[in-house]
Amino acid sequence: MSDHAEVLDTSTGLDSRKLAIWTFIGSECMFFASLISNYLVHKEQWMSGPGPFPHEAWTDPATGKVLEPIIEVPLVTVGTALLLFSSLFIVLALYGAQRGRRGMMLGWLGATIMCGLFFVGMQVYEFTHFVHKGLTLQRNLFGASFFTLTGFHGTHVTIGVIWLITMFILALRGQLTPERSLKLEMAALYWHFVDVVWIIIFPVVYLIK
Amino acid sequence: MATTVLDQHRVHAAHEEKTGLWSWITTVDHKRIGVLYGATAFFFFLLGGLEALLIRIQLAKPDNNFLSPEAYNQLFTMHGTSMIFLAVMPLSAMFFNYMIPLLIGARDVAFPRLNAFSYWVFLLGGLFLNAGFLFGAAPDQGWYGYANLTSRQFSPGANVDFWNMGLQVLGVSSLAAAVNFFVTVINMRAKGMTMMRMPMFVWMSFITQVLLLLAFPVLAVALILLMFDRFFGTNFFVPAGGGDPLLWQHFFWIFGHPEVYILVLPSFGIVSEVLPVFSRKPLFGYAAMVFSGVFIAFLGFGVWAHHMFATGMGPFADTFFSLATMLIAIPTGVKIFNWLGTMWGGSIQYKTPMYFSIGFIAMFIIGGLSGVMHASPPADTQQNDTYFIVAHFHYVLFGGSIFALTSGAYYWWPKMFGRLLDERLGKLHFWLMLIGFNLTFFPMHFVGLNGMPRRTWTYPAELGFETLNQLETAGAFVLFLAFSVFLVNIFKTWRGPRNAPADPWNGATLEWAIPSPPPEWNFAEAPVVQGRDPLWETKRERGGRLPEPSPGTGAGIHIPNPSYWPLITAVGVAAIFAAIMLSHKTGPWGIIVAVSILFLGVFNWVFEKGYSEFTTPAHGGH
Amino acid sequence: MPERTAAARRPARLVPFLLLLALVAGCSPERYPQTALLPLSDYARIGDHVQDQTFYWALGVFVLVEGALLYAIFRFRGRPDDPEPPQIHGNTTIEIIWTLIPALILAAIAVPTVKGIFETNASPTGDVLKIEVIGHQWWWEFRYPDLNVTTANELHVPVGRTVELLQNSADVVHSFWPPRFAGKRDVFPGRQTRIWFKADSAGLFPGQCAEFCGIQHARMAFQVRASSPAEYDAWAAHMRTLGPKPAAAAPRGDSVKTASAGGTVQGPKVPAQGPQAKADSATPSSQDPEYAKGEQLFKMKGCIGCHSLQAVDAPKGMIGPNLATVGSRAYIAAGWLRNTDENLEHWIREPQTVKKGVLMPNLGVTAEEAKALRAYLRAHQ
């Protein structure tokens, strides 16, 4: 499709594809709102099932034993920071794409992808770590809600990474010209959305006790 | 595939079209997709009607054994699910598809291939849902699937899974279409057509898309959580594992209540098109109609727990939802009065579309009033889960939506198919439908308040329900007759010549300015609009009816290319859910294959050649 | 063709009138034992009062609006060649009026509604009889904690005294609905719901589960037996005698001691009231040889695994209903099948035929064995 940077012959002057991404994002907000509500309803249930998995250091009143929190905030904080920075990186990549600055576009796009890959890797590590410790989908509702919420978010990130890699390949082939930069803009919008959802999930799941 | 630029060498006559199965499989033309939706939806509607007829036969006698309890439970589940998701919604979609671009003066929707994708996913979802019948395991847990009956423990068979997966597939279809129509309405209106000059059908459909976008994700999450319970051992809705069945009810009805407005708002729009044309005066109170529609949609998200008054949520929750529900009656009433105001002082032309639209008003009033009666929890705890509720929602969904959709069918039939449906058969259809409908559903108000609960495969003779149930079954057969007359009408006129005029009804909107049926490109020249009811304006300026329009040659007009990638992608979507259902046999491999098909479809779609030079087909040819 | 359509309309106009006639004939609530329109308790009257109010407003609106529609249909008929009518786009004053009037009507409905909500949600006061209701697939368990007594499918309540029903489910979501006494309240696994009512009339009144709960949802009924206070007390006293040992069926009229009176009271003769108030059967006796055979079979066939025969200190969590008083219940199979000898035998022999999907399997009971079991169970009153 030909992309015009100037005002298009549409009722709003905006490209329909950009409107479509925004509309889709609006719908996805409800999707994540529902998953987050579900998590909030069930997050107190880390006690049920054998071997509680507390959010923070917790003393078992029965045995007096102190249990370490299962959540590793430092690691996830790094992942979060990288995801946040990746939104900046993709803005820079888009800037380069819109101005035909190939090096800038490729460099920052690559950086975005690396951040995304690190984030997904961190989630995979975290999930395996939890399962290793015994907190699974089935163990209790905290586990179920946690994995469902962060799992779906992680899937969205993964799809975003695949999308960005595709953009990267297009860019390498010289097909991401300024006239066609809308493709990257759409990917960037999606990426920002995925980031914003994480900005909500991170405090709700990891920070708030 | 190269861009199809219609030039002098390939002159299309107005009525020539590509034929053959392949042209239908690869079509991205909104009109063809509309016809596909309509035909498929009508088929499922008849199937749902057959299911209803079987239910009515079983209920005609107490302690009847025409149907086993399992068969009955499957039939009422499938009847409800089919009518809502496979009949009313896609019948509305038929009109979204065919008419929205014409009403706003566009050549197609914003995303033609996404449009085709929506249809194919719908078809596959409908087949998925019904596939349960083939395995003797059709869904049997009610259309609303309350937990924890739907847990593995209490529903060990695949019935619930066919329902769950089928609905998730259908959800994808609805969401894709909603994005498409939302953008189309926002971005592809003719020059001069501001939002407040749009035809009312476009407005109501637009609001419906917003509802779809916001409500379906909530259903998706509920279904996903249920799927996790049943396939991956979670306990979201299993009390033994700490879950709460009431959570399902909240999630479901947060979707479910906006869903009923999704079902009825397009019908409001259709009636708002038909009444002015056949009263020969404009819609009364256009702005109020727009704002009441918006208000209904907005409020519709705040009333969901009125479906849960029997669960004992406490007086404050009960009061909030009760008052919110009563509030919604106000904009609804405004609409009814505006329709009356449209007819008032008019010069009413009694053609079949008008009959059905008036029938809609008469029936919807009854349904709306019984709805207000449910709004009050102390009364509702007697009415809920009885046939009184069944009466209510059939009055608004059948007396409402189906009557309106039928009105739209008669109204737009000449435009879509180039033939007028027979008037006499149409009126016979109307009277049989009105009588049959009331005979079937009016007694339900009484039998419900007198003690007959819903979803009961039989009842004892002592409770006295037999007489009214017999009446209702008789009514169902009258309805069967009514639809037979409709089918006869369709077949009879199909064999006749395709010679309907462009503007048989003296219409007010843009679709009547182009030939019946329209050429592939709809408008030879992009229309420019200066007010509401643009065609009446034009006819007034030119002092009378317009001459028959010529379709034009389509020269120089870019048409979206046909494509089969939407179908492949749709197959990928359905395959993923089928693979999850079969995951105990195929492990993760089925899912991997399905996802691969999906990726194959998506990548080829996105990078399809021939779409690189395609411009948004908004205005004019260039 | 106006004449033709007018002619077609005339006979058609009769039909709604005939319909109305048929409905008026068929809809008087007295003909329906399970009607919600003839309340017999204070609680049910609250809902009935609110419903009346909404109904009369709805009826008024119906007559006015449908009337206006009918008027418009006939008054504004036009011919194709008629001149264009005045192109009116709206009328702000009228539109405001017809927005405000419905709002006022709704406010008028809201007031009794909110009042009714708070009244029905309030805790009952006074000498309240607490009864636990537990929904099972597909029968109802009733426990009287003050009496330490359990029964099934027939809920005994005293007239003139408030009962509070504390409700739960043993499996899926059901809904307890005794329409003459109360609007329905769902019952859940894992959470308690409650209703209360004070019956003001004696008799036997049907009720039913009102939330789809699986294959035999339709056959999950129950009966409410409302008795005078004396009769209720006698019933309660009698129930207290149905302890762990299978009680030899005492002949009717035996004296029993009541704890409070400290003396003897004549045993009850439950009066027949309403349709099928009592089981049709011959007087049972533990001397009947079939009784002993039945007692043996009850253990051998495994019935004892799912059903308890003691009302006092009955074990919790049984899959099947308590049978301590099954012999005298008006209905069996959860409140809908008349408790005749024939039906009871059939139910024992072929539960899957009587109520397909019920958790009671066909146990290969012969006709002879069924007779014996029936005699044994009939003696349990």
Residue range A51-61: mean pLDDT, rounded: 70
Q: Which pLDDT belongs to residue C227?
A: 98
Q: Which of B382, B428, B462 to mutate to test the interface with C (most CBs of C within 10 A)?
A: B382
Contacts with C376 (C-beta within 8 Å, 6 or more apart), sequence order? C290, C291, C293, C294, C295, C297, C298
What is the spatial distance between Cα B596 and Cα B196, in angstroms, rounded to a whole number?
45
One domain, residues C114 and C164: no
Q: Which pLDDT belongs to residue B558?
A: 82
Q: Which pLDDT belongs to residue B18?
A: 72
Q: Cβ of B346 and C66 within 8 Å?
A: no
Please name the residue of chain B whose CA is at the shortest distance from the CA of residue A47. B242
Kindly state the percentage of chain A with pLDDT values over 90: 72
Q: What is the dihedral of CA B162, B47, B172, B520, to 10 degrees?
A: 150
One domain, residues C263 and C342: yes
Q: Cβ of B217 and A148 within 8 Å?
A: no
Instruction: Give the number of domains in chain C.
Output: 3
Residue range C218-230: mean pLDDT, rounded: 98
Kindly state the percentage of chain C with pLDDT values over 90: 79
Q: Which pLDDT belongs to residue C24?
A: 63
Q: Judge whether C244 lies within some domain.
A: no
Q: Judge whether C44 lies within some domain.
A: yes
Please name the residue of chain C whose CA is at the shortest distance from the CA of residue B275. C73
- Among C69, C212, C221, select the one facing B361 at the smallest CB separation: C69
Q: Cβ of B372 and C94 within 8 Å?
A: no
- Active site residues per annotation of B: 79, 108, 143, 173-174, 257, 259, 261, 272, 306-307, 332, 335, 454
Residue range C126-153: mean pLDDT, rounded: 97
Q: Name the amino acid, one letter, at C292.
A: A
Q: Which pLDDT belongs to residue A60?
A: 76
Query: Residues C150, C322: contact at Cβ < 8 Å?
Result: yes
Residue range A84-110: mean pLDDT, rounded: 96
Domain holding C65, by residue range, is: 33-76+87-121
Q: Is the pLDDT of residue C22 over 70?
A: no
Give A107 to chain B, closest Cα distance, Å.
24
Least confident of A24-33, A131-140, B384-393, C252-261: C252-261
One domain, residues C270 and C343: yes
Q: Considering only CB atoms, which chain B residues are within 8 Å of C65?
A: 336-337, 340, 365
Q: Is the pLDDT of residue C232 over 70?
A: yes
Q: Is the pLDDT of residue A45 over 90?
A: no
What is the spatial distance between Cα C355 and Cα A8, in angstroms, rounded to a whole number?
68
Q: Judge whether C99 lies within some domain.
A: yes
Options 2.30.130.10, 3.40.640.10, 1.20.210.10, 2.60.40.10; CATH of B2-238+249-604: 1.20.210.10
B458 near C CB under 8 A: yes
The structural domains of chain A, with segments of one domain joined by +, span 20-207
Q: Which pLDDT belongs to residue A5?
A: 42
Q: Which pLDDT belongs to residue C3?
A: 41
Q: Which pLDDT belongs to residue C20?
A: 67
Query: Residues B38, B591: contact at Cβ < 8 Å?
Result: no
Q: Is the pLDDT of residue A148 over 60?
A: yes
Q: Considering only CB atoms, which chain C residues are within 8 Å of B312?
A: 185-186, 193-194
Give A63 to chain B, closest Cα distance, Å.
24
Q: Name the amino acid, one letter, at B215.
A: A
- Among A8, A42, A137, select the one facing B616 at the smallest CB separation: A8
Please name the residue of chain B whose CA is at the shortest distance from the CA of residue A145. B236
pLDDT greater at residue C180 or residue B17: C180
Q: Is the pLDDT of residue C264 over 70?
A: no
- Among B193, B217, B619, select the one facing A27 at the smallest CB separation: B217
Q: Which pLDDT belongs to residue C106?
A: 97
Contacts with C324 (C-beta within 8 Å, 6 or more apart), sequence order? C150, C151, C239, C242, C308, C309, C310, C311, C314, C380
Q: Which pLDDT belongs to residue B378?
A: 97
Q: Is the pLDDT of residue A6 over 50?
A: no
Q: Considering only CB atoms, which chain B residues are within 8 Å of A34?
A: 217-218, 220-222, 251
Q: Judge whether C309 lies within some domain.
A: yes
Q: Which pLDDT belongs to residue C59?
A: 96
What is the spatial distance between Cα B410 and Cα B357, in angstroms, rounded to a whole number?
10
What is the spatial distance between Cα C347 and Cα C331, in angstroms, rounded to a whole number?
12
Assign residue C217 the CATH number of its domain.
2.60.40.420
Contacts with C11 (C-beta within 8 Å, 6 or more apart), sequence order? none
Radius of gyration of chain B (CA): 24
Residue range C21-34: mean pLDDT, rounded: 76
The structural domains of chain B, with segments of one domain joined by +, span 2-238+249-604
For the four alpha carbons of B32, B33, B36 and B41, in that order, the dihedral sign comes to negative
One domain, residues C139 and C117: no
What is the spatial distance between Cα C179 and Cα C35, in angstroms, rounded to a whole number?
6
Q: Which pLDDT belongs to residue C27?
A: 60
Q: Cβ of A38 and B221 within 8 Å?
A: yes
Q: Binning pLDDT at 50, 70 and 90, where does residue C255 land? A: very low
For residue B487, count other CB atoms closer than 10 A to its CB. 12
Parts of chain B with a pLDDT under 70: 1-17, 610-622
One domain, residues C220 and C289: no
Task: Give the mean pLDDT of chain A.
Answer: 90
DSSP conformation class of C86: P
- Among A10, A35, A137, select the one facing B188 at the smallest CB separation: A10
Q: Is the pLDDT of residue A141 over 50?
A: yes
Assign residue C42 the CATH number of its domain.
1.10.287.90
One domain, residues C136 and C105: no
Q: Binning pLDDT at 50, 70 and 90, where does residue C366 land? A: very high
Q: What is the CATH number of domain A20-207?
A: 1.20.120.80
Please name the residue of chain B whose CA is at the shortest distance from the CA of residue A13. B187
Q: Which pLDDT belongs to residue B610?
A: 67
Burial readout C231-251 (b: 16 or more C-beta within 10 A, e: otherwise): bbbbbbbbbbebbeebbebbe
- Among B318, B362, B382, select the one facing C69 at the smallest CB separation: B362
Q: Which pLDDT belongs to residue C248?
A: 47
**A/C Cβ contact: 3+ pairs below 8 Å:** no
B611 near A CB under 8 A: yes
One domain, residues C288 and C193: no
- List the chains bordering chain B where 3 or more Cβ pairs fall under 8 Å: A, C
Task: State ipTM.
Answer: 0.93
Q: Judge whether C356 lies within some domain.
A: yes
